[in-house]
Amino acid sequence: MKYAIMFADVVGSTQLYEKLGDHAALDCINQCISRMADITTLFDGMVINTIGDEIMCRFDTADNAVRAACRIHEVFNTEPIKHHNVILSLRIGIHFGEIVRQEDNVFGDVVNVASRVANIAIAKQIITTQALIDELSESLVLKTREFDHIKIKGKQEPLKLFEVLWENRDITMIRSAVSSLHAKQNLQLVYKEQRKVLHYQSTTFSIGRHPGSDLIVEAELVSRLHAYCVYRRGKFILVDQSTNGTFVKSSDGQEIYLRREELPLIGSGVIGLGESTKVNNGQLIQYICV
């Protein structure tokens, strides 16, 4: 049977703990979860699980899931958390499809996609998929707009995403064919005698000392899982996750240092793992987007 799966979580919970302290912040989060659960029940949904500041819910219909998501944002946007006078913002993701039920829990691809879609959303935003849009009543479809085409782990084709417009305000229109604005690029990486070609449909490409990395770079300053490349919104993005950082020098001669940050790779240039590209250590990676 098909269901709508919704994930909602608090944005900025870490800062909340720093600002209020552990006990007060935990009380805020608990009140937040309780509010979301009450609204879920109001729209005939079921709370499946709560993890920290996140809630996962199941709805029999796409309409109820969207109405619940809109109501959640409306309530949290106007009503402070009791005893703390704090306004919390949430991000919400919804997907629709066949699920696997085991007692009171649910599993499967729909759950995984809903979770990843929620991670794409920002504060006060509801992001959903074509699968859910196809199940919505016409009046609710009119409250949505095409948002993006994004490559999601585990999916061969980019996922078409939509935003649910829950606020009555002036809306910036988005071009209907977002993906048509982006050329389907390839990325070439050259390291010593190795040449790797990443296509726009490629999955995440890992770089580091770990033997399981897609591109193995053995050097003292290189982390085991140093960085990775991912194709997103028409660009290849280099994401650093290392101890010593990553240096990127583009063809214009400018060098940018990344540490736990990301950067679109444009044109051509060189990448230094853990050390500046100015150091001629024989470990540089050449890149070119074509």
pLDDT grade for 274, boundaries at 50, 70 and 90: very high
| Core vs surface per residue 15-42: b (16+ CB within 10 A) or e | ebbeebeeebbeebbebbbebbbebbee
Q: Are residues 135 and 151 in the same domain?
A: yes
pLDDT grade for 172, boundaries at 50, 70 and 90: low
Which are the contacts of 288, defined by CB distance < 8 A and separation ≥ 6? Answer: 187, 188, 267, 268
List the CATH number of the domain containing 73: 3.30.70.1230
Q: Are residues 22 and 85 in the same domain?
A: yes
pLDDT at residue number 16: 87
Q: Round the average pLDDT of the chain to a whole number and report it.
A: 88
Angstrom distances, CA of residue 247 to CA of 5, 93, 237, 239, 268: 40, 34, 14, 11, 14
Which stretch of DSSP H or E encloses residue 115?
helix 109-120
Among the candidates 179, 212, 238, a domain finishes at 179
Q: Are residues 169 and 271 in the same domain?
A: no
Q: Phi and psi for 63 in degrees, rounded to 5?
A: -60, -45
Q: Is 248 helix (H, G, I), strand (E, B) or coil?
A: strand
- Whole-model pTM: value is 0.62
- Domain region containing 231: 187-289
Q: Are residues 123 and 229 in the same domain?
A: no
Q: 70-104 pLDDT, tens per residue? A: 999 999 988 888 888 888 889 999 999 998 877 77
Please state, in angstroms and rounded to a whole number, the distance separating the CA atoms of residues 52 and 54: 6
pLDDT at residue number 197: 93
Q: Are residues 219 and 85 in the same domain?
A: no
Q: Are residues 157 and 32 in the same domain?
A: yes
Among the candidates 162, 179, 196, a domain finishes at 179
Q: 223-249 pLDDT, tens per residue? A: 999 999 988 877 899 999 999 999 999
- The answer to whether residue 178 scores a pLDDT higher than 60 is no
Q: 96-140 pLDDT, tens per residue? A: 999 887 777 888 889 999 998 998 888 899 999 999 999 999 999
Q: Are residues 48 and 157 in the same domain?
A: yes
pLDDT at residue number 271: 97
pLDDT at residue number 169: 55
Q: Which residue has the tokens 């919704």?
A: 6
Range of 38-47, 79-88, 141-150 with top mean pLDDT: 38-47
Q: Are residues 166 and 214 in the same domain?
A: no
Number of domains in the chain: 2
Q: Are residues 155 and 229 in the same domain?
A: no
Among the candidates 179, 204, 239, a domain finishes at 179
* Stretch 194-208: mean pLDDT: 88
Q: Are residues 143 and 255 in the same domain?
A: no
Q: Are residues 191 and 224 in the same domain?
A: yes
Q: Which residue has the tokens 């709508």?
A: 4
Q: Phi and psi for 102 in degrees, rounded to 5?
A: -130, 105
List the CATH number of the domain containing 282: 2.60.200.20
Q: 179-200 pLDDT, tens per residue? A: 444 456 799 999 998 999 998 7
Q: Phi and psi for 244 in degrees, rounded to 5?
A: -100, -5
Q: Are residues 38 and 166 in the same domain?
A: yes
